[in-house]
Structure 1
Amino acid sequence: MKRLKNVLVTVTAATILLLFGLALRPMETTKAKKPNIIFILADDLGYGDVGFNGQTKIKTPNIDQLAREGMVFRQHYCGTAVCGPSRAALMTGIHTAHATVRELSEWGLNGKPADLTPSDVTVAKELKRAGYTTGIIGKWGLDEGGTTGNTLTQGFDYFYGFKTHREAHHYYPEYIWKNKDKIPLPNNNCAEKRGTYSNDTFAEEAQTFIQQHRSEPFFLYLPFTLPHNELTVPADSRQPYENLGWPKQPMQVAHYHHDPDGNLAYAGMVSRLDRYVGQLMAELIKQHLDENTLVIFSSDNGPGYDKGFFDSNGPFRGGKLQLYEGGIRAPFVARWSGTIKPGTVSDHASAFWDFLPTACELAGVQPSAKIDGISYVSALLGKPKSQKEHDYFYWEINEREGPIQAVRMGPWKGIKLYEKPFELYNLQDDIAEKNNVADKHPDVVAKIRTMMTQIRTDNPEFPLTKRKALY
């Protein structure tokens, strides 16, 4: 009997240990598993072009659902007010005071290709160190010279899309890049708007990427080209906006093969982008990945098309190529089911150069290069008290109206335009930047002017001098 009791005690103890181990193991696995990261980037989409920021004419139900299920940032900034350098800031964590890419190639002093260099450390390189599979599908725009900026040497395992920003100007391109191969699209014709609509393939490729890498941590950078010029979209996306009595906006065809009516095309393009977001989220749910995937949606700079009909810049002044808030404040929403509290709003001030340290923190690694960014993980997790804040934000641009510099420091926003009086705005009281108060606060102006000089490092290709595009 004693022997039987000892056997029972041993079996019972072993059973308890086994059950305890089984119960503990899933928790440990879940805790240890690194989240997938998807960054969806629109092109020239304004702050006010999405429903969650007040858009009423254009319907964006899927993007708005991201906002309902995640967190909206009200004070998120692009890298600058034009695509190439803005995207460089997103990828490297470095703003335009220090970046190797500060303008598009044609606006550089000598017209040299504005590419990332071997010394640049991208978020893809950092996540590769953390064991992630990395992919970019869409517009890269940082390999203008076809050398050092190649995606496959900048940390990405897979690339499908446009290497340069000019390739991305057309929606029915003659070819597309897949890794290092140029894939002809013989049935496409830009002028006739015939063949495969490029962004449709980006959405399809993104879903395939998710399917192929569902069992490993992945980073997917998904920069669509919608709704950038040229303004054209398949008829099924324009149809919901026809016969609404909208004013027509005739478009002239030159470099861009626009549709006849710009308003219908623009609305349809934004809605088609919204459709892609819905397809992507459906795929994540289908693959049981939505609870372990952080999805971020934003735009590379302010709106380039709208002149007021859509209120694309929301309550702000200006748009693309300008450093007023409308040119650099971006729509931003982050969704991570089960981790980010649904339906929340953050007033944390952040910028594109914060994405790299954020991704690194989520992946469990430290940034390996000196950067300007600050991780916004605490803000995403609803812990504003532990969220570090920026002392300042810096932007510059040198296209058309340039050179222009801007610095935000707390509520103050200083803008230095070429051969014009210095402008100072208190964003806390004047979000639309209507009242220049530079004369009333000379001490603040002096401080910001000094910062503009001290923060910036020289780059011989991008001096702060007046110039014209070289081509």
Structure 2
Amino acid sequence: MKLFSLVALGAVLPLLVFLSFTPTEKNAPKKPNIILIVADDLGYGDVGFNGQTKIKTPNLDRLATEGMNFRQQYCGTSVCGPSRAALMTGIHTAHATVRELSEWSLTGKPANLIPTDVTVAEELKRAGYQTGIIGKWGLDEGGTTGHALDQGFDVFYGFKTHREAHHYYPEYIWQNREKVLLPDNDCANKVGTYSNDSFASQALSFIQDHKNGPFFLYLPFTLPHNELTVPDDSKQPYQNQGWPERPMKVAHYHHDPDGNLAYAGMVSRLDRYVGQIMAELKKQKLDENTLVVFTSDNGPGFDNGFFDSNGPFRGGKLQLYEGGIRVPFVARWPGKIKAGSVSGHACAFWDFLPTACEVAGIKPTANIDGISYLPTLLGKPKNQQVHDALYWEINEREGPIQAVVMGPWKGIKFYEKSFELYNLADDIGEKTNLADQHPEIVAKIKAFMAETRTEHPEFPLTKRKALY
């Protein structure tokens, strides 16, 4: 018996030693927090790290200095709703549930996410994340299946629809499923609480309340989307600059008198919010374990050339030229992303979901179009998968329009107009149409457009006007 006991003890001791060094839940590395900050109608060239000289964006520039700047990041499409749908679901407009704003659907049916859509918030909840959205949701246009709380978010504060987000001194803001009235606000006279100030404050509270994490915070501000208005303290630095005045007509949007001053102030106020968020992360000792991503939902909708909001690119919002779909994008994650790095990796909004999933240690559950760019973030380009092609469509005002980027080539198909083909490697401004010189490439891109797109009863590629 004694010999058996000694043998048994000799077998157990190594196991006990091994178990004592095996990571437990308590000492295992925490999953990183993820903060996704999205501007509204901010152009590629509106930020200092992409060449802006008139508008000051020191906090965003610091984000780029401490992280990675993507030079070929594309949004979902060149208008808010479907672009944000691609960001949330990892599915692009060739076969998404939301391919256009409700006004431009065939019958006027509200463009909502549906129960079968799987958002990045739903995916991250599987990995133990607490999730929140503060700002413009815009994917619950009909008040049915698209509510943020039905799409994976634990906390919602902001605007359910895109039209609610048109004004900065709103009559109400949604908090979860409750409409919170703001009786001190006067939208037309711009009196009361500036909505985005509330968003920033709520974001800081969310970080404080969820500091034990992990958390995913989606923070879609509405700056600098029309209407062009901002508190005076944000315009003051741009007074007496000798800028040309840009008088604004007051109608649906209650603009400030000078559009240039207002726009610059709005971008700078957005930059201020980013600085506040970064400071709070440091204060809560979350800085080292938080991936922060900053981008914009589509190209600029305001600039007449004074700010060079689209940078070196052609076009802007509602167009599928590069200026309409190429957006500012920086990612910061200390110790993981090399400070001051720049990437030319071509990626798009539908790549965010698989990237967030890989960061969280899970795989997407739905069949998506996205490819994780985590290898690029971590400085491992040899491990990075690339897209064979990227696809967009839009049917607002000038539509229907389809576009495809395939390697260096960019093809744009307009309704009953000549096909356009550009070599982005040589012609980033899309000035020289090469369609006649390269019919074989045009045919290849057209075939891809036809093969990848699925039909949707509300979003056919037909010419139409907004229904309301």
What TM-score results when the alignment is normalised by the length of structure 1?
0.95
Kindly indicate whether residue 463 of structure 2 is the aligned counterpart of residue 466 of structure 1: yes
Q: Which residue of 2 aligns with 1:7?
A: none
AA partner of residue 322 (structure 2): E
Q: Which residue of 2 aligns with 1:141?
A: 138
Q: Which residue of 2 aligns with 1:39?
A: 36
Q: Which residue of 2 aligns with 1:126?
A: 123
Once the two structures are superposed, the pairs formed by residues 52-451 of structure 1 within 5 Å of their partners are 52-451=49-448
How far did residue 29 of structure 1 move? 6.3
How many angstroms apart in 1 are the aligned matches of 2:123 and 2:54?
A: 40
Deviations 1:11-56 (A, max 9, x none): xx99xx89x969x869x96763211000000000000000000000
Q: Which residue of 2 aligns with 1:5?
A: none
How many angstroms apart in 1 are the aligned matches of 2:51 and 2:295?
A: 15
How far did residue 224 of structure 1 move? 0.0
Deviations 1:266-291 (A, max 9, x none): 00000000000000000000000010
How many angstroms apart in 2 are the aligned matches of 1:42 and 1:262?
A: 18
AA partner of residue 92 (structure 1): T
How many angstroms apart in 2 are the aligned matches of 1:358 and 1:126?
A: 11
How many angstroms apart in 1 are the aligned matches of 2:361 and 2:63?
A: 25
How far did residue 170 of structure 1 move? 0.2
How many angstroms apart in 2 are the aligned matches of 1:407 and 1:241?
A: 39
How many angstroms apart in 1 are the aligned matches of 2:23 and 2:351?
A: 34
How far did residue 418 of structure 1 move? 1.4
How many angstroms apart in 2 are the aligned matches of 1:341 and 1:29?
A: 28
How many angstroms apart in 1 are the aligned matches of 2:467 and 2:303?
A: 27
How many angstroms apart in 2 are the aligned matches of 1:431 and 1:313?
A: 12
How far did residue 339 of structure 1 move? 1.0
How many angstroms apart in 2 are the aligned matches of 1:31 and 1:405?
A: 47
How many angstroms apart in 2 are the aligned matches of 1:192 and 1:101?
A: 34
How many angstroms apart in 2 are the aligned matches of 1:116 and 1:25?
A: 40
AA partner of residue 284 (structure 1): L
AA partner of residue 381 (structure 1): L
Q: Which residue of 2 aligns with 1:4?
A: none
How many angstroms apart in 1 are the aligned matches of 2:304 and 2:47?
A: 16
AA partner of residue 434 (structure 1): K
Q: Could you say if the C-alpha distance between residues 424 and 29 of structure 1 is closer, same or farther in structure 2, counting changes exceeding 3 Å?
A: farther
SS of aligned partner of 2:241: coil
Q: Which residue of 1 aligns with 2:4?
A: none
SS of aligned partner of 1:32: coil
How many angstroms apart in 2 are the aligned matches of 1:257 and 1:349?
A: 38
SS of aligned partner of 1:439: coil
SS of aligned partner of 1:67: helix
Q: Could you say if the C-alpha distance between residues 50 and 118 of structure 1 is closer, same or farther in structure 2, counting changes exceeding 3 Å?
A: same
How far did residue 202 of structure 1 move? 0.3
SS of aligned partner of 1:334: strand
SS of aligned partner of 1:206: helix
How many angstroms apart in 2 are the aligned matches of 1:176 and 1:128?
A: 25
How far did residue 402 of structure 1 move? 0.2
How far did residue 216 of structure 1 move? 1.7
Deviations 1:43-97 (A, max 9, x none): 0000000000000000000000000000000000000000000000000000000
How many angstroms apart in 1 are the aligned matches of 2:351 and 2:324?
A: 18
How many angstroms apart in 1 are the aligned matches of 2:204 and 2:103?
A: 35
Deviations 1:248-303 (A, max 9, x none): 00000000000000000000000000000000000000000010000000000000
How many angstroms apart in 1 are the aligned matches of 2:27 and 2:259?
A: 48
How many angstroms apart in 2 are the aligned matches of 1:417 and 1:32?
A: 51
Q: Could you say if the C-alpha distance between residues 67 and 96 of structure 1 is closer, same or farther in structure 2, counting changes exceeding 3 Å?
A: same
AA partner of residue 180 (structure 1): R
How many angstroms apart in 2 are the aligned matches of 1:146 and 1:323?
A: 29
Aligned-residue RMSD, C-alpha: 1.6
AA partner of residue 459 (structure 2): F
Where structure 1 has 5 or more consecutive residues not aligned to the other structure, the ranges are 1-12
Deviations 1:191-233 (A, max 9, x none): 1100000000000000000000000200000000000000000
